[in-house]
Amino acid sequence: MPIRGLVFDLFGTLVTRGDGWRAYRELIFRAPPWQWSRLRRAALTRPNPTIGEFRDELGIRRGPPSEHFERLVAEGLAAVELYPDSITTLERARAQGMKLALLSNLAAPYRAPVFEFGLDRHFDALVFSCEVGMAKPDAAIFAHVAARLELAVDELVMIGDSRHDDVRGAESAGMHALHLAEAQSGLTG
Per-residue pLDDT of 67-106, as tens digits, reads 999 999 999 999 999 999 999 999 999 999 999 999 999 9
Spell out a b/e string for 26-45, using b for 16 or more CB atoms within 10 Å of the CB, else e: ebbebbeeeeeeebbebbbb
Q: Can you give the pLDDT at residue 20?
A: 63
Q: Report pTM.
A: 0.93
Q: Can you give the pLDDT at residue 92?
A: 97
Residues with pLDDT less than 50, the chain? 183, 185, 188-189
Q: Write the CATH number of the domain with boundaries 5-17+81-179.
A: 3.40.50.1000
Domains in the chain: boundaries? 5-17+81-179, 21-78
CB 29 within 8 A of CB 23: no
CA distance 155 to 145: 12
Q: Can you give the pLDDT at residue 94?
A: 97
Helix 51-58 / helix 21-28 crossing angle, nearest 10 deg: 20
